[in-house]
Amino acid sequence: MNFEIFDTDYITIIFVKDKLNYTGREIEPLWAFKVFNVQKDNIVVFRGKMEVPIDNMKDLKDIKREKDIDIPIKSDDAINFVIEHFDNIDLKTIYLRQRLLVCITKEIIEDNCNLKLRRDGDDLYYNNKKLSVCIACKGIVSSKIHLGINVKSKGAKHIEIIGLEYLGIKDIDKIMKDIAIKYAEEINKIEKDIRKTLPLY
């Protein structure tokens, strides 16, 4: 697999140059170590189809819905961000990091298309059409986040989706890199702020 690795102070960025599909297996612990030999906190960025079978889903609401009406998480073309943090945090903190990632994504996409997106929790919409999917979860050794953003406006059957191309964004690689770099910068700044702040007495 063809990829580039960029190390920052507290998190490693891995840009995958080849097409890689997201199946839900990538959110399992130590995936970046198994595939890219990276043991540090990391964010892996790649583009490909997105189709998550029920066995790989982590959101109980999605699992119950899938059982009832056969609705997979699916996109014909998407950019994906899979993040892994190894600090011993609770599930609430990893969800806060997830929201940070989504807010960064919203800001970068809006800056590149001059359109206003709507954020509802961890989901992004334009004209009530769904642009993204996102999940955060916690395991024994690490916490993980997946964010998938549609590039093309097709693939899902149960809901109207919209893609970056419809929003007028042509340089998809730039969007991928900008989001990953900005997230890494924010994590690095937070870690440095922790290390300079005196405690309350």
Domains in the chain and their CATH numbers? 3-188 (3.30.930.10)
Task: List, for residues 14-73, the tens digit of each pLDDT value.
Answer: 999 999 999 888 989 999 999 999 999 999 999 999 887 655 555 545 544 555 445 566
Task: List, for residues 126-183, the tens digit of each pLDDT value.
Answer: 999 999 999 999 989 999 999 999 999 876 667 789 999 999 999 999 999 999 999 9
Q: Calculate what percentage of the chain has a pLDDT beyond 70.
A: 88
CB burial of residue 160 (10 Å; 0-12, 13-18, 19+)? exposed
pLDDT at 75 (0 to 100): 84
Where do we find the tokens 């300079």? 196
pLDDT at 54 (0 to 100): 57
